[in-house]
Amino acid sequence: MPILRSAALFAVAALFEIGGAWLVWQGVREHRGWLWTAGGVLSLAAYGFVATFQPDAHFGRVLAAYGGIFVAGSLLWGAVADGYRPDRWDITGALVCVAGMALIMWAPRNGR
Protein backbone atom coordinates (compact mmCIF):
# COMPACT_ATOMS: atom_id res chain seq x y z
CA MET A 1 0.00 0.00 0.00
CA PRO A 2 2.82 2.50 0.65
CA ILE A 3 3.91 2.24 -3.01
CA LEU A 4 0.38 3.01 -4.24
CA ARG A 5 0.11 5.95 -1.86
CA SER A 6 3.51 7.24 -2.92
CA ALA A 7 2.65 6.87 -6.62
CA ALA A 8 -0.65 8.71 -6.12
CA LEU A 9 1.14 11.54 -4.30
CA PHE A 10 3.63 11.82 -7.17
CA ALA A 11 0.72 12.07 -9.62
CA VAL A 12 -0.95 14.81 -7.55
CA ALA A 13 2.36 16.65 -7.21
CA ALA A 14 2.84 16.51 -10.98
CA LEU A 15 -0.66 17.84 -11.56
CA PHE A 16 -0.01 20.81 -9.27
CA GLU A 17 3.54 21.57 -10.42
CA ILE A 18 3.20 21.02 -14.14
CA GLY A 19 -0.30 22.48 -14.20
CA GLY A 20 0.88 25.49 -12.22
CA ALA A 21 3.84 26.10 -14.49
CA TRP A 22 1.55 25.76 -17.52
CA LEU A 23 -0.88 28.31 -16.06
CA VAL A 24 1.95 30.78 -15.44
CA TRP A 25 3.18 30.17 -19.00
CA GLN A 26 -0.31 30.83 -20.34
CA GLY A 27 -0.78 33.92 -18.21
CA VAL A 28 2.56 35.53 -19.04
CA ARG A 29 3.81 34.16 -22.34
CA GLU A 30 0.44 33.74 -24.01
CA HIS A 31 -0.92 36.99 -22.49
CA ARG A 32 -3.97 35.38 -20.90
CA GLY A 33 -3.78 37.63 -17.86
CA TRP A 34 -3.01 37.77 -14.21
CA LEU A 35 -5.78 35.36 -13.16
CA TRP A 36 -4.08 32.55 -15.06
CA THR A 37 -0.76 33.53 -13.53
CA ALA A 38 -2.22 33.74 -10.02
CA GLY A 39 -3.83 30.33 -10.44
CA GLY A 40 -0.46 28.97 -11.48
CA VAL A 41 1.29 30.47 -8.48
CA LEU A 42 -1.31 28.95 -6.13
CA SER A 43 -0.97 25.59 -7.83
CA LEU A 44 2.82 25.71 -7.52
CA ALA A 45 2.46 26.52 -3.82
CA ALA A 46 0.16 23.52 -3.38
CA TYR A 47 2.77 21.33 -5.05
CA GLY A 48 5.22 22.30 -2.32
CA PHE A 49 2.92 20.82 0.30
CA VAL A 50 2.09 17.58 -1.51
CA ALA A 51 5.66 16.28 -1.32
CA THR A 52 5.56 16.51 2.47
CA PHE A 53 2.99 13.69 2.54
CA GLN A 54 5.34 11.15 0.93
CA PRO A 55 5.92 8.18 3.24
CA ASP A 56 9.72 8.45 2.82
CA ALA A 57 11.17 11.00 5.24
CA HIS A 58 14.19 11.95 3.10
CA PHE A 59 13.63 15.25 1.27
CA GLY A 60 16.47 14.70 -1.21
CA ARG A 61 15.27 11.24 -2.15
CA VAL A 62 11.66 12.32 -2.63
CA LEU A 63 12.55 15.34 -4.76
CA ALA A 64 15.13 13.43 -6.81
CA ALA A 65 12.61 10.70 -7.52
CA TYR A 66 9.92 13.23 -8.34
CA GLY A 67 12.21 14.52 -11.09
CA GLY A 68 11.46 11.35 -13.08
CA ILE A 69 7.74 11.90 -12.70
CA PHE A 70 8.16 15.54 -13.71
CA VAL A 71 9.91 14.57 -16.96
CA ALA A 72 7.28 12.01 -17.98
CA GLY A 73 4.40 14.16 -16.74
CA SER A 74 5.62 17.21 -18.64
CA LEU A 75 5.67 15.28 -21.91
CA LEU A 76 2.20 13.91 -21.20
CA TRP A 77 0.89 17.37 -20.27
CA GLY A 78 2.33 18.83 -23.47
CA ALA A 79 0.67 16.10 -25.53
CA VAL A 80 -2.74 16.60 -23.90
CA ALA A 81 -2.80 20.37 -23.35
CA ASP A 82 -0.74 21.67 -26.27
CA GLY A 83 -0.90 18.97 -28.92
CA TYR A 84 2.84 18.20 -28.63
CA ARG A 85 3.69 14.77 -29.98
CA PRO A 86 6.66 13.18 -28.21
CA ASP A 87 8.96 11.20 -30.47
CA ARG A 88 10.47 7.83 -29.63
CA TRP A 89 13.46 9.45 -27.91
CA ASP A 90 11.22 11.59 -25.72
CA ILE A 91 9.30 8.48 -24.72
CA THR A 92 12.46 6.43 -24.19
CA GLY A 93 13.98 9.16 -22.04
CA ALA A 94 10.80 9.45 -20.00
CA LEU A 95 10.76 5.69 -19.40
CA VAL A 96 14.38 5.81 -18.23
CA CYS A 97 13.46 8.63 -15.84
CA VAL A 98 10.46 6.73 -14.46
CA ALA A 99 12.61 3.62 -14.00
CA GLY A 100 15.13 5.76 -12.13
CA MET A 101 12.36 7.17 -9.95
CA ALA A 102 11.19 3.67 -9.07
CA LEU A 103 14.72 2.63 -8.11
CA ILE A 104 15.25 5.71 -5.98
CA MET A 105 11.95 5.43 -4.13
CA TRP A 106 11.11 1.76 -3.95
CA ALA A 107 14.31 -0.30 -4.21
CA PRO A 108 14.71 -2.61 -1.22
CA ARG A 109 16.97 -1.10 1.41
CA ASN A 110 18.46 -2.41 4.61
CA GLY A 111 15.88 -2.35 7.35
CA ARG A 112 12.78 -2.30 5.15
Q: What angle do helix axes 2-28 and 59-82 make, rounded to 10 degrees?
A: 50
* Length in residues, the chain: 112
pLDDT at 47: 96
Q: Report the alpha-carbon distance of residue 77 to residue 36 in Å, rounded.
A: 17
Residues of the chain with pLDDT under 70: 111-112
Do the Cβ atoms of 27 and 37 come closer than 8 Å? yes
pLDDT at 87: 97
pLDDT at 78: 95
**pTM reported for the whole predicted model:** 0.87
**Tens digits of residue pLDDT in 36-45:** 999 999 999 9
What is the residue-averaged pLDDT of the chain?
94
Q: Which residue, among 63, 72, 76, has the nearest Cα to 93 in the 3D structure? A: 72
pLDDT at 111: 64
